[in-house]
Amino acid sequence: MATPLLQLKQVSKVYRPPGDAPPVAVLIDADMTVGRGESVAIVGPSGSGKTTLLNLLGTLDIADNGTVLVEEKDPCLLSERQLAELRRRLIGFVFQQHHLLPHCTVLENVLVPVLAGRSGTDPEVEERAMKLLARVGLADRVDHLPGRLSGGERQRVAVVRALINRPALLLADEPTGALDRESAREVGRLLAELNGLDAVTLVVVTHSMELAEQLGRVIELKDRKLVER
Ligand SMILES: Nc1ncnc2c1ncn2[C@@H]1O[C@H](COP(=O)(O)OP(=O)(O)OP(=O)(O)O)[C@@H](O)[C@H]1O
Ligand SMILES: [Mg+2]
């Protein structure tokens, strides 16, 4: 296998809600390895832990037990600055709830990750943003505010935003969930192309078998473990 980019070793994750609510065990001794350049679909019923898994892989949450390795390093051992740098350099994240900034236009939202730590964007980046937005059919929406977009349009903006820093790893939580068939196919094609041409590693949560079949591997969340299909 290619060098491992992501590894889960005997990982457990238990949510402990405040008050009297019982703990929720989502992952127990889960194992998984994703090599550089691979594309993986994560499938499983609602509530099975797909978003939890993606948050662990994306260094947005920490496991209760076991080890998560990103580029063979444990993110828990990095300083805040190193962690921020790792996220910025390596990871593009498409959230299930898109988290677009309501007072920024489509184009501004896409450019937010570029602005982190800088005072402005260069014209090349803006051109790339425009190209990607055109690619997902949003060329005539760049000046719109998110509140004036449809759910599927917002989802496509979130995909483009995740790609703007040319991440080596794209973590996407149901990136085609709110899309009609044709738009879903277009996003699917974009992901396949990123994986094929740019060797971007993909980990994509999806309920769409059509999208899952376009990816190299399918891993199912089952009984709190990860099972290769
Ligand atoms: N912060 C939290 N506190 C307590 N329980 C939580 C928390 N976040 C998630 N859960 C529970 O953990 C389980 C897994 O949640 P998760 O969001 O990972 O599921 P999912 O597979 O992404 O579901 P969906 O397909 O509906 O998005 C669910 O039962 C959920 O209720
Ligand atoms: Mg989810």
CA of 188 to the centre of ligand 2 (A): 19
pLDDT of residue 200: 95
Q: What is the arithmetic mean of pLDDT over 86-93?
A: 94
How do residues 18-27 score in pLDDT, each as one tens digit? 899 899 999 9
Give the C-alpha separation, 98 to 7, whole Å.
26
pLDDT score recorded for residue 119: 61
Q: Which residues surround ligand 2, an ion (CB under 5 A)?
A: 50-51, 96
Residue nearest to atom 7 of ligand 1 (CA): 15
pTM of the full structure: 0.93
Closest ligand 1 atom, residue 44 Cα: 21
pLDDT value, residue 40: 98
Ligand 2 geometric centre to CA of 3 (Å): 28
> What CATH number does the domain located at 37-62+79-228 have?
3.40.50.300
d(CA 141, CA 108): 12
- pLDDT tens for 132-154 read 999 989 999 999 999 999 888 99
The two tokens of residue 60 are 């947005």
Domain boundaries, the chain: 37-62+79-228
Q: Report how far residue 27's alpha carbon sits from residue 15's, in angstroms, rounded to the nearest whole number.
A: 10
- Whether residue 16 is predicted with pLDDT greater than 70 in this model: the reply is yes
pLDDT tens-digit readout, 164-201: 999 999 999 999 988 888 888 888 988 998 999 889 99
Which residue owns the Cα nearest ligand 1 atom 5? 15
Mean pLDDT score of the chain, rounded to an integer?
93
Q: Is the CB of 97 under 6 A from ligand 1?
A: no
| Under 8 Å between Cβ of 14 and 7 | no
For the sheet containing 201-205, what is the strand order? 91-94, 169-173, 201-205, 39-43, 217-222, 225-228
Model confidence at 203: pLDDT above 80: yes
